[in-house]
Amino acid sequence: MNASLDSTRGLLTGLTAAGSQNCDVAVFPPFPYLALAAELLQDSGIALGAQNCSDEDSGAFTGEVSASMLVDTGCSMGLVGHSERRALYGETDYTVLAKTRKLLENGMVAVVCVGETLEQRKALREETVVSEQLNLLIGELSNADWDKVVIAYEPVWAIGTGETATPEQAQSMHAFIRSELKRVSGSVAEKTRVLYGGSVKAANAAELFAKPDVDGALVGGASLDINEFLKICRA
């Protein structure tokens, strides 16, 4: 929950002025700035996503925003299951599955977040926790659905703390996630993008991206600084 009209305009103008990057780039502004973002990103090749969506289509759900509204605004992607949504707003794996379905039904890409807390990692439960978070998706989504799903691993203990999983820790969990996706199929495990999110910055991006199972980043605080974000894109 950051940004303003001015900062959104400044960030996106800077991003489009930098020209094409040798990677796929998407931005996920807060809801009030999506229409402005769609306008600024037109013909830029940069995808637009939303930070959340409702698990309902329409109706008496004041304050909620549906997947079809997001499409209408120009979004092609949506973020679901972020650790803050799970921790602060009680979203369960069932909620995450329902929201993922709504995004997919509307032709959008679902970026689904998974990850463990510090307590869970200290208890050596990180793989168990992530496996549980993936279970419903693996059991309920079809092979075709997985063409539009991206998994983002975000160790909760490394978000906004300045702590970062080591490249080896990130690789280990990403390899585990890929092994879990083999329960759907080998091709799904191979093709699904698995992003790392957790205090990603220009200084550590290249080392993280060098790992074979790290396909990109879900960038938080560093995305509010255009120069820092561009350095991550270039990495």
Q: Which residues are catalytic?
A: 82, 154
The pairing of strands 26-27 and 149-153 is unpaired
**Tally: H helices and E strands in the chain:** 11, 7
In this structure, how many other beta carbons lie within 10 angstroms of the beta carbon of residue 177?
22
Secondary structure class of 216 (helix, strand, coil): strand
Task: Take residue 104 and report the two structure tokens written for it.
Answer: 């997919």
Classify residue 58 by its DSSP letter: S
Contact 101, 138 (CB under 8 A): no
- Burial 144-160, CB ≥16 within 10 A → b, else e: ebbebbbbbbbbbbbbe
Sign, CA dihedral 151-47-5-69, equals negative
Q: 30 φ, ψ to 5°? A: -60, 155
Identify which of 140, 202, 130, 141 has the alpha carbon closest to the alpha carbon of residue 172.
130
Q: How many residues does the chain have?
A: 235
Task: Take residue 132 and report the two structure tokens written for it.
Answer: 């549980």
Question: HSE-up of 158 (CA within 13 Å, CB side)?
Answer: 23
